[in-house]
Structure 1
Amino acid sequence: MQRKVFDRKVFDSKVVLITGGCAGIGRALAVRMAQAGAQLVIFDLEQNALDGLVQHLADHHNAGALGLRCDVSDAEAVQRAVALVVERYGGIDVLINNAGITHRSRVAQTSLTVFQRVMAVNFYGALHCTQAALPSLIARQGQIVVLSSLSQYAPIPERAAYNASKHALHGLFETLRGELEGSEVNVMLVCPGYTATDLRKNVLVGDGSTAPQPMLDLGRVSSAQDVAEAIYQGALRRRRLLVLSNLGWKARLLARCFPRLYQSLLLPRLLGDRP
C-alpha cells in the first residue's frame, strides 16, 4: 500500500507528454501514467486513434488527456503543438520520446530515402520534441525519457538505419545530460528488448514501401505492458539508463566483447538461407 501511495504522488497532476502514444509501448505508458494520476498529452499521426485513446482513458481510468495530431519529424509542427500544450497546461513535467519506425533491408538494397525517413522520426523527432519542451522541463525540474533499443548493445542485421538512429539518440541525450548538470532535469535512456507491438506490421523495406514482417525468433518476447511498467518504475527513481534486455546478459556481453563471435552465432539464426 505504501508503494501505491508513493507512486501516485510522484506523477499526480503532472503533465506527461508521450509521442507515438496510440499503440504499443506508447499506449501502455499512457495507461500506466493515467493510473498514476498524470495529465496526459499524446502526439500521434492518426486523429481517430488519438480520439479513441483519449476516450478510453476517460472511460476506464477517469483520466484527462489531450490528443494532438503531430508528425514529430516536422520541427515547425512540433513547436506549434508544444506551444499549445504549454499554453493550456502551463508547462510539461515529463517528455517521453517514444515515436519510432523501423525497416528491414540490407544496406546495399536500402534507398537513401529509407535512411532519411527512419532518422527523421527516430532521431530528429526526439530532438525536435526535446528542444521545444526543454525550457518548460528546466523550469519544472522535469524528466526526459528516451526510448532507445537493445540494438544499442547488440545491433540486429538488416536494421542499419534503425540501429544507427538508436546509437545517435545515445550520443545526443548523453551529451544533453551533461549540459543539464545542475538543472535537476533527469534524462533516462531506455533500451527495451524484443517487445510485442504493432511496429512490425508496417515495416519499411528497401524501396521505401511498407510490408508486415514476422517476429524475430530470439527467445522470450516482452509485452508492451511489462515494458511500460519497467519504464514507469525507472522514471519514479529518475534513473539514467534502463536496459530491459530479454536477450540475456550473456548475449549482450558477447556482442560487446566478442562482436565477431556474436555475429557468427546470430546472423544464421536471423537471416536463415536468404542471400
Structure 2
Amino acid sequence: MYRKVFASKVFDRKVVLISGGCAGIGRALAERLAQAGARLAILDLDKTELESLVRHLADQHNAEALGLCCDVADAVAVEHAVAQAIEHFGGIDVLINNAGITHRSTFAETELAVFQRVMAVNYFGALHCTKAALSSLIDRNGQIIVLSSLSGFAPLLYRSAYNASKHALHGLFETLRYEIKGSGVNVMLVCPGFTATDLRKNALVGDDSIAHQPPLAMGKVASTQDVAEAIYQGALKRRRLLVLSNVDWRARLLARFFPRLFERVLLPRLSGLKPQPFRRG
C-alpha cells in the first residue's frame, strides 16, 4: 500500500544505505523508505537485480537510488562502495545492516568454512559497513539499524553459526551504542521472527553447499512488507530494540529464566526441526 497521506517527512531527502537490498526485508525496506522520500544507496552482490531494483524505485516511487555491486564480507569493497555513496549523495543519514545468510546443519557436521562464511557476511559485513559509514553518520546525527534475529536471544536448533553471528551483532552494536552516546547517532537492533524471505530457501548445509530445500513449516510467518513497516515505524521513533515475533516475549522469558522448559517445549517449534538423538562417531 502506498502511504502518502499523512506521511512523515522524517526521511524525506535523507540518504539511506541498505546492505543486501535486492530481496526480502532489504527490498521491502528500500520500497518503504522510497515511499517516504528517502534517497537510497543499495548494496548487493547481484548486479542485474540491482539495476532492476533501481529502475523499479525510479519508475514506481520516483526515488533516487544508486545500486552498488558489493560483497559486504570484503572490507575493501565495502569501503569503496560506501565512499561512492557518500560522494554521490553527500553523506549517509541511515545505515541498514541487512545482508545475511544462514545454514541448517548440526555443529558436528558443519565444516569450518560454513562458520567463517556466515560470520563473514552476518557479522563482519555489518562491521565493515558501519566502520565505513560511521563518520558520516556522526556528522549527520544519523541512525544505524541492524537486522538481528529471534535467535539473538533464543537459539534455533541446527543454526549454531547463524545464532553465533546474531549474538555477536548484539555484543558489537550494544557496545558501539555506549561508545557513541552523545554523538546524536541512534543504534536500533531489530529481531524479526520468521519472515517470508529467500533466506531459508538458500540456506547452507554442513559441507558449504546450498540446500535448495523449500521453507520449513513454522506456523505464522510475517510478510516482508509488514516487517519493513514495523522497522520504519521503529526508526521514526529512534528505538533501541525492536522485537518482531509471534513468540517474542515467550521465547525471551523461557530462554532466559526457564532454559530446560524452553529446550523441551519451544526450541523444536521455533527451529522447525525435531532434535535428533546424539550418536557417537
TM norm. shorter chain > 0.5: yes
Q: Aligned residue for 1:114? A: 114
Q: Does 1:45 align with 2:45?
A: yes
Amino acid across the alignment from 1:199: L
Deviation of residue 214 (structure 1)? 3.8
Q: Does 1:265 align with 2:260?
A: no
SS in 2 for 1:9: coil
Question: Equivalent pairs: percent with the same residue?
Answer: 73
What CA distance in whole angstroms lies between the structure 1 residues aligned with 2:93 and 2:54? 19
Q: Does 1:61 align with 2:61?
A: yes
Deviation of residue 250 (structure 1)? 2.3
What CA distance in whole angstroms lies between the structure 2 residues aligned with 1:153 and 1:77? 31
Aligned partners of 1:7 and 1:236 also within 8 Å: no
Deviation of residue 4 (structure 1)? 5.8
Deviation of residue 161 (structure 1)? 0.3
SS in 2 for 1:18: strand
What CA distance in whole angstroms lies between the structure 2 residues aligned with 1:156 and 1:272? 11
Structure 1, unaligned runs of 5 or more: none
Superposed structure 1 runs of 4+ greater than 6 Å apart = none
Q: Does 1:85 align with 2:85?
A: yes
Q: Does 1:202 align with 2:224?
A: no
Aligned partners of 2:157 and 2:275 also within 8 Å: no
**1:182-221 → structure 2 map (5 Å cutoff):** 182-221=182-221
Aligned partners of 1:8 and 1:37 also within 8 Å: no
**1:94-173 → structure 2 map (5 Å cutoff):** 94-173=94-173
Amino acid across the alignment from 1:140: R
Aligned partners of 1:218 and 1:247 also within 8 Å: no
Aligned partners of 1:188 and 1:240 also within 8 Å: yes
Cα shift readout 1:75-133 (whole Å, capped 9, x = no counterpart) = 00001011111111110000000000000000000000000000000000000000000
Question: Number of matched residues?
Answer: 273
Deviation of residue 18 (structure 1)? 0.3
Amino acid across the alignment from 1:223: S
What CA distance in whole angstroms lies between the structure 2 residues aligned with 1:223 and 1:36? 19
Deviation of residue 273 (structure 1)? 7.1
What CA distance in whole angstroms lies between the structure 1 residues aligned with 2:251 and 2:139? 41
Q: Closer, same or farther in 2 for the Cα pair 1:265/1:213, shift >3 Å?
A: farther
Q: Aligned residue for 1:74? A: 74
SS in 1 for 2:188: strand
What CA distance in whole angstroms lies between the structure 2 residues aligned with 1:268 and 1:37? 42
